[in-house]
């Protein structure tokens, strides 16, 4: 029996219109454009309008990806969204999208794995296509992190942004998605978290607000080590030599982290897709948006070997090796 792979047949992205520059942030918190550029690489980010939700951005990205793939909404039969900022607790963002796209009757759900959400979602959809249980999957990473950012905290306010990226996956006799690798370690739960949910009751001595809390410096160190591990795992699982990847498409958290990962892979920065200067850190949306940017500007071409990777709260992490 011929092995079935999944392949990316179309990509899309959606960014809110409003752009918030580092200079504007100088008026909001005690920071400088120079510090933000030097320590993160970020220059600007997009912020959702007051009435714009994660599902709005996800819908924009999904419609673009379907158009690029030449696939009608009615042909989609699997829908998974990586997000930590869903519109509501339920229905999940996938179900909200089904209603908007006028489709339904198949599995639609969200995956909550912070910045690794898209890689987790991609890995799940890949298995359903490779197993013959889905024919055309929409895989999305979408976030409105501005809603859970403390705009008085300079250590996080300068980092995050909003947006969504999407891909359509279809079956193919050739890879496609060659391998995916996922991991997590809950022991790091206190380094990067959002303390509010629906189940845990607020305690009288709780002083933390409903925002992202991050011990940035400590997260940085674990992120670098973990990403080294996951890229090594991906390369050795596929018998690849350093330098054999055409494009690194990393999670866009910090330029210095990305540079260290590229060095580990023996790749020059010309072969790394960078969007953090324009998008900031958009969590689960960052990798699919970076992929879409590089596909649309012609850098990523059919046949290229891509390495996607992400690391985020949990901690969670993941990678995907893809023949585009």
Among 40, 64, 261, 275, binds ligand UT7 (CB under 6 A): 40
Stretch that binds ligand UT7, among 35-43, 64-72, 193-201, 268-276 (CB under 6 A): 35-43
Catalytic residue among 92, 115, 181, 194: 115
Is 11 a binding residue for ligand UT7 by CB under 6 A? The answer is no
Tokens 């419609």, located at residue: 63
Stretch that binds ligand UT7, among 13-21, 68-76, 212-220, 296-304 (CB under 6 A): 212-220
CA 276 – CA 200 distance, rounded (Å): 33
Residue 13 phi, psi (nearest 5): -150, 160
DSSP-assigned letter for residue 97: H
Among 18, 19, 26, 31, binds ligand UT7 (CB under 6 A): 31
Nearer to ligand UT7 (CB atom), residue 91 or residue 216: 216
Residue 169 phi, psi (nearest 5): -110, 135
Sequence-distant contacts of 100-106: CB under 8 A, at least 24 apart: 100/55, 100/59, 101/59, 101/62, 101/63, 101/73, 101/76, 102/73, 102/74, 103/73, 103/74, 103/76, 106/76, 106/77, 106/78, 106/79, 106/134
Is 312 a binding residue for ligand UT7 by CB under 6 A? The answer is yes
CA 97 – CA 198 distance, rounded (Å): 23
Is 220 a binding residue for ligand UT7 by CB under 6 A? The answer is yes
Collapsing DSSP to helix, strand or coil, 267 comes out as coil
251 is known as an active-site residue: yes
* Least CB distance to ligand UT7 at residue 233 (A): 19
Among 254, 275, 282, 316, binds ligand UT7 (CB under 6 A): 254
Contact 249, 294 (CB under 8 A): yes
Nearer to ligand UT7 (CB atom), residue 78 or residue 311: 311
Nearer to ligand UT7 (CB atom), residue 34 or residue 99: 34
* Least CB distance to ligand UT7 at residue 223 (A): 4
Among 80, 115, 272, 322, binds ligand UT7 (CB under 6 A): 115
Is 73 a binding residue for ligand UT7 by CB under 6 A? The answer is no
Is 155 a binding residue for ligand UT7 by CB under 6 A? The answer is yes
How big is the CA angle at 253 (ends 137 and 56), to the nearest 5 degrees? 45
119 burial (CB, 10 Å; 0-12 / 13-18 / 19+) is buried
Catalytic residue among 181, 194, 251, 279: 251
Write down how long the chain is: 324
**What is the token pair recorded at 170?**
């279809």
| Region 124-143 residues binding ligand UT7, contact defined as CB under 6 A | none
Contact 22, 42 (CB under 8 A): yes
* Least CB distance to ligand UT7 at residue 281 (A): 5
Q: Which residues are catalytic?
A: 115, 251, 281
Note the residues at the interface with ligand UT7 (CB under 6 A). 31, 35, 39-40, 115, 154-155, 158, 216-217, 219-220, 223, 253-254, 257, 281, 311-312
């Amino acid at each position: 029996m011929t092995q079935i792979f999944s392949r990316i047949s179309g990509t899309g992205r959606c960014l809110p219109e409003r752009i918030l520059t580092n200079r504007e942030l100088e008026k909001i918190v005690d920071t400088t454009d120079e510090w933000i550029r030097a320590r993160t690489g970020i220059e600007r980010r997009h912020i959702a309008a007051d009435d714009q939700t994660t599902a709005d951005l996800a819908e924009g990205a999904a419609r673009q990806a379907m158009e690029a793939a030449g696939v009608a909404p009615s042909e989609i039969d699997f829908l998974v969204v990586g997000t930590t900022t869903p519109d509501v607790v339920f229905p999940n963002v996938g179900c909200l999208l089904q209603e908007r796209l006028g489709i339904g009757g198949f599995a639609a759900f969200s995956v909550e794995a912070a910045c690794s959400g898209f890689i987790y979602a991609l890995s799940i959809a890949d298995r359903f296509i490779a197993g013959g249980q889905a024919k055309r999957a929409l895989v999305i990473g979408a976030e409105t992190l501005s809603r859970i950012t403390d705009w008085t905290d300079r250590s996080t306010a300068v980092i995050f942004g909003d947006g969504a990226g999407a891909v359509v996956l279809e079956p193919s006799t050739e890879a496609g998605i060659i391998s995916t690798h996922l991991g997590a370690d809950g022991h790091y739960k206190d380094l990067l978290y959002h303390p509010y949910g629906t189940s845990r009751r607020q305690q009288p001595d709780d002083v933390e607000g409903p925002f992202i809390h991050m011990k940035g410096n400590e997260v940085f160190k674990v992120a670098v080590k973990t990403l080294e591990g996951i890229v090594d795992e991906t390369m050795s699982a596929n018998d690849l030599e350093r330098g054999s990847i055409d494009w690194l498409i990393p999670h866009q958290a910090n330029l210095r982290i990305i540079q260290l990962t590229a060095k580990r892979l023996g790749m020059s920065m010309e072969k790394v897709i960078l969007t953090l200067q324009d998008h900031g850190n958009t969590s689960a949306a960052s990798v699919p948006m970076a992929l879409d940017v590089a596909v649309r500007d012609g850098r990523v071409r059919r046949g290229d070997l891509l390495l996607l990777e992400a690391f985020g709260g949990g901690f969670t992490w993941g990678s995907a090796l893809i023949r585009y």
